[in-house]
Amino acid sequence: MVTSMLKGRVFIVDDEEHVRKTVSLALKQGGYDVLEAADGEEAIATIQSYPTGFPVHAIICDMDLPKVNGKDLIAFIRATLPSVPVIVLTGHPDVQSAASLFKQGVVDYLIKPSQAQTLLDAVRRAIGEQAVFE
């Protein structure tokens, strides 16, 4: 049981700064702590900088990322953080891509721009589902 008012920590990976800031603001207003990365390479470095385990409850990931794309980043996350739910947030929806991502364990697939409430609902569901497995 968490005694603080925080509902959890969410890692946002998106190369568009205004998207990161908008999502971050919505999550912070919803009671979440937020970490950010601007590309897949930075996201991997951030995850690897925590040798005892990356302390997040959910990850929101764009697909069109520089350096390491979203598909490869999600494969890395699934391999290193199998219990952390991943939510895709993309400006370029693709039904085939979405289907294969769900097979990889992605828990939600949101289209930009996403409403704050839609994001919060997706994160709440993802973290709620995660708690069942712990």
Please give the pLDDT value at position 24.
97
Please give the pLDDT value at position 130.
54
Is cis: bond before 113, omega within 30 of 0?
yes
Q: Is residue 2 part of a domain?
A: no
CATH number of the structural domain spanning residue 38: 3.40.50.2300
Question: Could you count the other beta carbons within 10 Å of the beta carbon of residue 74?
Answer: 22
pLDDT digits (tens, 9 = 90+) for 58-106: 999 999 999 999 999 999 999 999 999 999 999 999 999 999 999 999 9
Q: Is residue 80 part of a domain?
A: yes
Query: What total of structural domains would you count in the chain?
Result: 1
- Quick one: pLDDT band at residue 5, thresholds 50, 70, 90? low
- Quick one: pLDDT band at residue 129, thresholds 50, 70, 90? low
Cα–Cα separations (whole angstroms), residue 104 to 61, 86, 121:
14, 10, 21
Rounded Cα–Cα distance for residues 110 and 122 (Å): 9
Residue keyed to tokens 């920590």: 9
Rounded Cα–Cα distance for residues 104 and 18 (Å): 28
Q: Is residue 1 part of a domain?
A: no
Q: Is residue 112 part of a domain?
A: yes
Please give the pLDDT value at position 6.
81
Considering only CA atoms, give the Rg of the chain: 14
* Domain, as residue range, for 79: 8-133
Judged by DSSP in three states, 69 sits in: coil
Q: Is residue 67 part of a domain?
A: yes
